[in-house]
Amino acid sequence: MSLEQEPTDRRADPLDAFRQFFALERDVLVLSVAMFAFSLGFQMTGRYMAEYMSALGASVFVIGLFGTFGNVISAVYPYPGGAISDRLGSRYALTVFGFCSTLGFGVWLVAPVLADVTVGPTSLAIVAIFLGLLLAQAWKSFGLGATFAIVKQAVPPSQLAAGFASTETFRRSAFLVGPLVAAALFAPFGSSDSAVLAAFQLLLLVAVGFGIIGTVIQHVRYRSDEDDIGKEFEGVSQFLTDLRAMPDELRPLLIGDTLVRFANGMVYVFFVIVVTRFLEVGLSLSLPVVGTIALSPQSYFGLLLGLEMVVALLTMVPVAKAAERVGLKPVVALGFAVYAVFPVLLINAPADPAVLAVLFAFSGLRFAGLPAHKALIVGPAERGAGGRVTGAYYLLRNVVVIPSAALGGLLWDGISNPLTGAQVFAGDPVVAFTIATGIGLAGTAYFLLFGEEFEAYR
């Protein structure tokens, strides 16, 4: 499939990623296998990190700091990641990033061994968790802007949402499988801290295995002769220029999106704790042949994530197609609204597995707006500048979102005067999640009032 073909000669096919995969086109197969392997590792482990850290003795505030640390990495990694790919070439850069991510999973795996060694007020195990994150997110930093630019070149402007639905559908399939694998591996274990540690280490062993497979396959089989992904990034010095060149119609989207993402960042890392420790909701089913199946809250959380992703995969393509008729703006606003209201609904939900299933199915609708959101970001950019516009957009948004998780942790855990030790605010998870929803709704309202439609979808 050549990107030199005129855009008007092609139509975006949401199943194209799968079709190319099963056709075994070499580069598509190699990158798809690597994408699936690492996404599977991230999804099996990332959503459970708060539970893992809690079992290791971390406070809610420290867990919030971990989320903020992840935000820092997400903000600053893409530019140096592009510089490394320019210097090493795509093949070796992919190998380095894959090796680092696999090593990060390994650091998380051995962290409990260090639990009895203290570093100031915390244990060396928690320090290892932070160090592991530096490594584990390396592969995810590669090629963000280039991916946007390639999709923009490959499909007509009026079908950008469907084009992004194609890539998102394939990537998100790993987001479905990962939590289901996690649920299965957690099932034989209980809910005690020792059981959580044992189950999560088993998950990490699987993640390390997939990381090794993905790294080896992409290094041995990937061909980079005509690949110029790394060249899409031009370094930090280009950022201010790219920001000034950002199309005016993107600014309301950026402001609304940043508020919504800040709100989500305040609570996202704590979703697993709400289910497993705040609500303590598991699942017990009586099946005619099998008998009674009892799932711990940790195992049930994996099923909830799987349900969320099933809804996302089922709705992403039809919603992207619907955007061609109703426009991108209402679809993006729908995704923003789901992001915004989910936290307050979750924290106030009764401890009922059926209610949580409905809520997480509803949460899956936020992914339905992602293809339209990406199309609205890259669509107004000049041809050939999609990667730079995307890089500037995401860097600015992610920098602003950095403190969100730490703020959420403070609101949940409470605030004390560092000089006297007196408690200034007692801390309340309901307050934290409610404030997050308020900020998210403000961002949604701002986008609805001032956001502009992409011309090709009018």
Query: What's the confidence (pLDDT) of residue 114?
Result: 93
DSSP secondary structure, 216-230, as one string: HHHHHH---TT--GG
Q: What is residue 2's DSSP assignment? A: -
Give residue 406's pLDDT band: very low, low, confident or very high (50, 70, 90). Answer: very high
Residue 6 within any structural domain of the chain: no
Range of the domain at 123: 11-222+234-457
In a domain, 4, yes or no: no
Does residue 311 lie in a domain region? Answer: yes
Stretch among 214-223, 271-280, 355-364 having the lowest mean pLDDT: 214-223
Exposure string over 405-419, b if 16+ CB within 10 A, otherwise e: bbbbbbbbbbeeeee
CA-closest candidate to residue 161, choices 6, 365, 332: 332
Residue with tokens 């993640």: 207
- Strands (E) located in 291-440: 291-295, 415-416, 423-425
Distance CA 428, CA 73 (A): 28
Whole-number Å distance between alpha carbons of 40 and 90: 22
Statement: residue 418 has pLDDT above 80: no
Domain count, the chain: 1
| CATH number of the domain to which 15 belongs | 1.20.1250.20
The per-residue pLDDT for range 41-89, each reduced to its tens digit, is 888 898 999 999 999 999 999 999 999 999 998 887 766 665 565 566 6
The answer as to whether 252 is a domain residue is yes
pLDDT > 90: percent of the chain = 42
**CB count, 10 Å around CB of 203?**
23
102 has pLDDT over 80: yes
Q: What is the pLDDT at residue 170? A: 63
* Residue 2 domain flag: no
Whole-number Å distance between alpha carbons of 435 and 428 = 11
Q: Residue 77's closest CA among 117, 17, 136?
A: 136
103 pLDDT more than 70? yes
pTM: 0.83
Asked if 222 contacts 82 with a C-beta cutoff of 8 angstroms, the reply is: no
- Summarize pLDDT for 23-34 with one digit per residue, the tens: 444 544 566 677
- 93 domain-assigned: yes
Is 227 among the domain residues?
no
Percentage of the chain beyond pLDDT 70 is 73
d(CA 217, CA 155): 29
Return the amino acid letter for 158.
Answer: S
How far is it, in rounded angstroms, from Cα 435 to Cα 266? 9
Residue 156 lies in a domain: yes
Query: Tens digits of per-residue pLDDT, 106-151?
Result: 999 999 999 988 877 789 999 999 999 999 988 776 544 444 544 5
* Secondary structure tally for the chain: helices H, strands E: 21, 6
Host H or E run for residue 122: strand 122-123
